[in-house]
Amino acid sequence: MPRAGPKKIQRYSLEFRLTAVRLSQQPGVQVQTVAAALDIHPFMLSRWRKQVRDGVLRGALPAVQTRTARELRRLQVLEREHALLREEHALLKKAIRFCSTRKRRRLRSSTRSAAPSR
């Protein structure tokens, strides 16, 4: 259900869009990574890339330092490692929950059997 009220539209400067496109064109860098780093939707970045290819977005593409490309690659590696750690953490939480419920069930059943029968 849509929210009531005015729709919030974010406008980005030409320089920002061209810089985002240039970052996404670095070798070994994924569009999704650049979009996540810039806090924009990957589809928006893909649309900007297409506009640059078609000549709709014009302007001198700003030079991106090679250090930035290295940082983006490192960010990709760290994000993969972080996702793996989050997965492992969730699995450990489930295992702890499973073991604690089994232990509680075992304790309940042993107390019932220990009570004298009538």
Q: How many CB atoms lie within 10 A of CB 23?
A: 21
Contact 72, 37 (CB under 8 A): yes
| All structural domains of the chain with their residue ranges | 14-111
pTM: 0.50
The tens digit of pLDDT for each residue in 44-78 reads 999 999 999 998 888 776 665 656 777 878 888 89
Convert the pLDDT of each residue in 90-105 to its tens digit.
999 999 998 888 777 7
Say how far apart CA 72 and CA 61 lie, in whole Å. 18
CA–centroid distance for 61 within its chain: 27
Tell me the Cα Rg of the chain.
26
